[in-house]
């Protein structure tokens, strides 16, 4: 019997403040890379909840997703397929005493041009694509994503 193909579901926060975007620098198998605050959907949580959690864990900032920027499908050089939900919203309180997630070396605020000039350092092509979609005003209602209560019943 052939095993069933399952993409990795991830979330990302596209956060802009004063013309700069919040990024994380993280250790990857390819070395240090830049990424949006992002991560995997965990069992028992909705994509919105995952984005709130991942942003806090990776940046020490609270985050409230307000819009879906887009849904993206890509395949990495390691032949892993990712299904990414990217959100934008409001940045909340920063907790300076909170430790960042394992592998995150620091957070950075970068202009769109600085991100474009760093393509060779981006974790994936989706990092730039999500930012560009955000900049062109792409927004969808967050309730476009429905999470059945059976999902959160897992916890």
- Whole-model pTM? 0.93
Residue 135 is given by DSSP the state H
Average pLDDT of every residue of the chain: 94
In a domain, 147, yes or no: no
* Structure tokens that stand for 48 in this block: 């919105």
The parent domain of residue 54 ranges over 8-142
Angle (nearest 5°) at CA 34 between 147 and 117: 120
On the question of pLDDT at 29 being above 90, the answer is: no
In a domain, 101, yes or no: yes
On the question of pLDDT at 40 being above 70, the answer is: yes
Q: What is the percent of the chain where pLDDT is above 90?
A: 85
Residues 121-134 have a mean pLDDT of 95
Write the CATH number for 90: 3.90.79.10
Domain count along the chain: 1
| pLDDT-based confidence at residue 1 (cuts at 50, 70, 90) | low
In a domain, 3, yes or no: no
Closest CA to 107 of 48, 53, 36: 36
For residue 30, what pLDDT is reported? 86
pLDDT in tens, 46-83: 999 999 999 999 999 999 999 999 999 998 877 889 99
């Amino acid at each position: 019997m052939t095993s069933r193909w399952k993409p990795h579901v991830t979330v990302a926060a596209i956060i802009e403040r004063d013309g700069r975007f919040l990024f994380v620098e993280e250790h990857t198998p390819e070395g240090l890379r830049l990424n949006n605050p992002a991560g995997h959907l965990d069992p028992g949580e909705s994509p919105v909840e995952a984005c709130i959690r991942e942003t806090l864990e990776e940046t020490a900032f609270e985050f409230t997703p307000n819009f879906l920027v887009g849904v993206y499908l890509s395949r990495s050089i390691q032949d892993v397929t990712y299904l990414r939900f990217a959100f934008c919203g409001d940045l909340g309180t920063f907790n300076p005493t909170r430790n960042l997630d394992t592998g995150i070396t620091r957070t950075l605020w970068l202009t769109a041009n600085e991100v474009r000039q760093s393509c060779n350092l981006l974790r994936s092509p989706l990092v730039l694509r999500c930012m560009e979609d955000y900049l062109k005003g792409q927004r969808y209602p967050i309730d476009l994503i429905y999470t059945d209560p059976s999902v959160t019943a897992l916890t």
